[in-house]
Every structure is written in structure tokens, then in C-alpha cells.
Amino acid sequence: MLAVHQRMAELWTLRRARNLTKAEQDELMLCLEANATYVWNRLKLDNLSLCASLTHDYEWLHEICARIEKLEPRH
């Protein structure tokens, strides 16, 4: 989970209890934008990974896997 996902969940929970402030609404929108960017980038890499695998281009596949690892948070 990315930090943005945690904050988005916090804001969503607050939203259920009370109206968000303008700053919190803006922050929620930033979180949603960051999430969408992350998801689309990850899906693109997943699709490229499948293409590399289907074409047996293992060098390309390793490059894509390294890019995927960079997207994932470290524990």
C-alpha cells in the first residue's frame, strides 16, 4: 500500500463522519489523482510484461519487472 492510499482512506473515513474542509477535499482529490496515475502506470507495465513474456523477450521482461518493483512501496 502506498502512503497515498492510507491518507485517502483516512480522508474517506473522515468524510463519513463530517464534511471535509476545503483543504481536505483538495487533498482527497490529489490522492485520487495520484492513485489513478499509479494504477494506469502499473496496468501499462503489467500489459508490457505480458507482451514481453509472450514474445519470449526475457531481457525486456526483466527491465519491466524492475520498473514494477520501483513502483511498489518498500516494507
For 56-74, give one letter per residue: b (16+ CB within 10 A) or e: eeeeebeebeeeeeeeeee
pLDDT of residue 75: 61
Which residues have CB under 8 Å from 7's CB, separation 6+? 27, 31
Per-residue pLDDT of the chain (75 residues; tens, 9 = 90+): 789 999 999 999 999 999 999 999 999 999 999 999 999 999 999 999 999 999 999 999 999 999 999 998 776
pLDDT of residue 49: 98
Please report, for the chain, the start and end positions of each structural domain, with discontinuous segments joined by +: 3-9+22-71
DSSP 48-64: HHHHHHHTT-HHHHHHH
pTM above 0.85, yes or no: no
pLDDT of residue 74: 76
Residue indicated by cell numbers 502506470:
41
pLDDT of residue 69: 94
